[in-house]
Structure 1
Amino acid sequence: MSDRATASARTELPFSREEYALRLDKVRRRMAAAGIEVLLTTVPENIVYLTGYSSLGYFTYQVLVLSLHHEPILLTRAINVEKAQVDSCLTCIEGYRDTEDADEATHRVLERYGLLGKRIANQDDAWFFSVARYKTLLRRLGVNDLADGSGLIEHVRRIKSRREIDYIRQAGRYCEASLRAAIAAVVPGATENDVAAAAYQAMYQAGSEFLGHEAQYVAGPAAGLGFECAKRRPVRADDVVYMEAGGTHQRYNCMLSRTVIVGRPDPKWIAMAEASRDALDAAKAAMHAGATSHEVDRAARTVMGKAGLGRYFSHRTGYSIGIGLPPDWGEGRIMSINENDPTVLESGMCFHLIPDLKLVHQGGVVFSESVLVTETGHEALTEFPSEIFFK
């Protein structure tokens, strides 16, 4: 595709070029402070954040090369080049053929742009960059190791811009539609797949893109297992149905969870669902700029303890949200709301708070919401009744 054709075919970017430039400048400042001249990242969310380029093609090798004085360079499979030309703010895009060694291609790109011999760092905590790939890259570059640039970009991503927040709110609208449809689909005799199908149909009809993480619609004892998803199981009389819905807009994710009670199950499930709701409310009440992650987590954990359920609440209270691609719709790698975490919350951070409860082989309950941290408290990013739904 010619440069002129590429320019005319470009889609509208999710953010202004000025915003992308500001993000890049912040990352470069952190690179310079760390003594890094070139940063290699294969984290797809970081590539989306800095360039707008989003593709399912991240399961094969692609790398964004950031330097202090040159425009960002994307190296990707040749089949992805035209999409990157159309759907990003990038001006330097290089492709490698499937028959070409990707490490050789990386060396070629670094050499072409005069970046060999610079102080190069790699993002070592990237999920889609294997140890084997790293070792072969080191051999091709002729070095024993590279500095670790993990977290440099993620630190910048913590605070959301106004437009990023707007996108998360819009994802919340899709999420609300999905959850409403899921709740309506719960009847004895329906299957979890029936419920999930209704949820996903409503989610896509509302405008969502594919989620960064499978939503969870699970009935009965299976809901007592972590990260269980719909699997053809029937909804039975006196079941409890665990629902964690999601929505995605411009790759920004929003989540929302509720519990549905069918018939008259053991009263303990109502008490547990109420504890989850109250712990969520306590966490929200403790949230404001200047509070610590530990303080917010402790507020939720105190409620669980007073309800006699503390032993079942063994995970974090929440996690950062924003850009997400499978397998994760959250930004827990950036920050979580967790015990003994002294990290100070700042205005503009966004979190999914999910103090759920699971009893193995018995079932699970959940209340969750996505929220924005403000100077004086929090703002909800979703709007949904804070109640247990009885069917």
Structure 2
Amino acid sequence: MNLPSRAPDPATSELEFPPDFIGSQAVFPAAEFAGRLSRIQQALRANGAEALLLTGPENIFWATGRQTAGYFAFQALIVPQSGEPVLLVRQLELTGARASCWLKRIETWQDGQDPVAVLIALIADLGLRELALEREGWFVSPALYGRIEAGLSGLRLSDGSGLVEGLRAVKSPAELGAIRRAAHYAEAGMVAALAACRAGVSENDIAAAMLFAAVEAGSEAMAMEPLISSGPRSGIPHATWRRRVLEPGDGVFLELAASHDRYHAALMRAVWIGPPPALAQRMMDTALRALDAALSSMRPGVSCATAHEAAQAVIDDAGYTAAFRKRIGYSIGAAFAPDWGEGAILSLFSGVDRLLEPGMVFHLPATLRSYGAFTVGASETVIVTETGIEPLSDLPRGLTIC
């Protein structure tokens, strides 16, 4: 995408951008986002609210393409039942917002201003009488959200949580294309990490090889750092690299998600330095059978719970129930730190009744742990198709012996 041939004049009180700058860094064409906004508006009409207020970076990105590393500063998107949405961002973020979005109206708040006061004044200017609020977003603190609700006390407020997440669960062809590219980057990173594993190298050496290969293949910033741990540390969930040097007899846990245009795909594999203990190999074999059972059960029309129950049955039959105790998978797609997944949207877990549909994407990490000793298993990111699933990696799943 081309940057503008003429830069905005920084001396002007309001930045003006040439037409070829608007949307010049957008991850998808304008029509993709217009379709998403139309779907939000249709859902709003069914909900009955005049407009929806979004504050979560993932939902704002999904609806508009707005992305930045500066999402720590307050931002909000107002989507009315009809007409143009309005985005509110920090003044410093205006250039990036114009480049990444096709929106016609973007308002700003300046450092030193109260962004909540600016938001409330903007909503008043729009003449809204009823507003659905995204109450379950992780980004806005309870104190800040309390101030927003207090400032909107004259409006009829309703809960709009989950409205956009429900739409995000099924990916468009453009989204699936980005996820497939991310899966290619993740596999490149995993191949390099596996090749780096041997006695005498450090976890940092492995992390450097993994990150270099994934980024060299094309990955952008990842929503969470890779998980690399060895020896007893490999039995600690979500441990990251800490300079430990690998020794003979160590287990090694490797997991990463790479990113293309903010869309992620994840991959996990296990390594042993030398011959693995019999227990580790039995647990690895069980984890692989559980993963196969989950994947084999996935097709349109079955519930999200089905895959988990298939994997859980294998694990229970082998006697490793206590070594699992988690869901078998979660949805994955557009993500911002601190999480590469969309686990708050859909889990492959008991009691989740939503049916699988073509275009849904899941990461299934089948891990068994001897807590504080080792973790074994493997994972796949898969797309639900019309007839079953499409795994996004062909990397062997077995325990790699170094």
1:142 offset after TM fit, Å?
3.5
1:49 offset after TM fit, Å?
0.7
Tell me how far apart the structure 2 counterparts of residues 108 and 145 of structure 1 sit (CA, whole Å).
16
Cross-structure match for 2:171: 160
Is the counterpart of residue 295 in structure 1 residue 306 in structure 2? yes
Tell me how far apart the structure 2 counterparts of residues 115 and 277 of structure 1 sit (CA, whole Å).
57
2:77 counterpart (64, 74, 79) = 64
User: Can you list the C-alpha shifts for 1:47-88, whole angstroms capped at 9, x where unaligned?
Assistant: 111111111222121111111123111111110011101111
Cross-structure match for 2:11: none
Preserved CA contact (<8 Å) 1:178 1:246: no
SS at match of 2:332: strand
The amino acid that maps onto 1:115 is: G
Tell me how far apart the structure 1 counterparts of residues 124 and 379 of structure 2 sit (CA, whole Å).
49
Over the residues paired in the alignment, what is the CA RMSD in angstroms?
1.5
1:144 offset after TM fit, Å?
8.3
The amino acid that maps onto 2:347 is: S
Is the counterpart of residue 78 in structure 1 residue 99 in structure 2? no
Cross-structure match for 1:11: 24
Cross-structure match for 2:279: 268
Preserved CA contact (<8 Å) 1:31 1:37: yes
Tell me how far apart the structure 1 counterparts of residues 102 and 241 of structure 2 sit (CA, whole Å).
38
1:138 offset after TM fit, Å?
2.5
Preserved CA contact (<8 Å) 2:27 2:100: no
User: Can you list the C-alpha shifts for 1:250-271, whole angstroms capped at 9, x where unaligned?
Assistant: 0000001111111123221111
Cross-structure match for 2:246: 235
Tell me how far apart the structure 1 counterparts of residues 373 and 338 of structure 2 sit (CA, whole Å).
27
Tell me how far apart the structure 2 counterparts of residues 126 and 240 of structure 1 sit (CA, whole Å).
37
Cross-structure match for 2:266: 255
Cross-structure match for 1:121: 132
1:6 offset after TM fit, Å?
4.9
SS at match of 1:295: helix
SS at match of 1:371: strand
Cross-structure match for 2:190: 179
Cross-structure match for 1:201: 212
1:204 offset after TM fit, Å?
0.7
1:110 offset after TM fit, Å?
1.5
Preserved CA contact (<8 Å) 1:221 1:364: no
The amino acid that maps onto 1:22 is: G
The amino acid that maps onto 2:356 is: L
The amino acid that maps onto 1:315 is: K
1:126 offset after TM fit, Å?
0.8
Tell me how far apart the structure 2 counterparts of residues 268 and 135 of structure 1 sit (CA, whole Å).
52
Is the counterpart of residue 246 in structure 1 residue 257 in structure 2? yes
Cross-structure match for 2:4: none
The number of residues matched between the two structures is 389
Tell me how far apart the structure 1 counterparts of residues 395 and 56 of structure 2 sit (CA, whole Å).
33
Tell me the TM-score normalized by structure 2: 0.93
Cross-structure match for 2:289: 278
The amino acid that maps onto 1:240 is: G
Is the counterpart of residue 358 in structure 1 residue 375 in structure 2? no
Tell me the TM-score normalized by structure 1: 0.96
Cross-structure match for 2:355: 344
Cross-structure match for 2:328: 317
Structure 1 residue ranges without an equivalent (≥5):
none
- Runs of 4+ in structure 1 off by over 6 angstroms are none
Preserved CA contact (<8 Å) 2:323 2:370: yes
1:108 counterpart (105, 121, 140) = 121
The amino acid that maps onto 1:78 is: Q
User: Can you list the C-alpha shifts for 1:327-381, whole angstroms capped at 9, x where unaligned?
Assistant: 0111111101001222211111110011211222111112000001122211112
Structure 2 residue ranges without an equivalent (≥5):
1-7, 9-14
Tell me how far apart the structure 2 counterparts of residues 87 and 29 of structure 1 sit (CA, whole Å).
24
Is the counterpart of residue 30 in structure 1 residue 35 in structure 2? no
SS at match of 1:370: strand
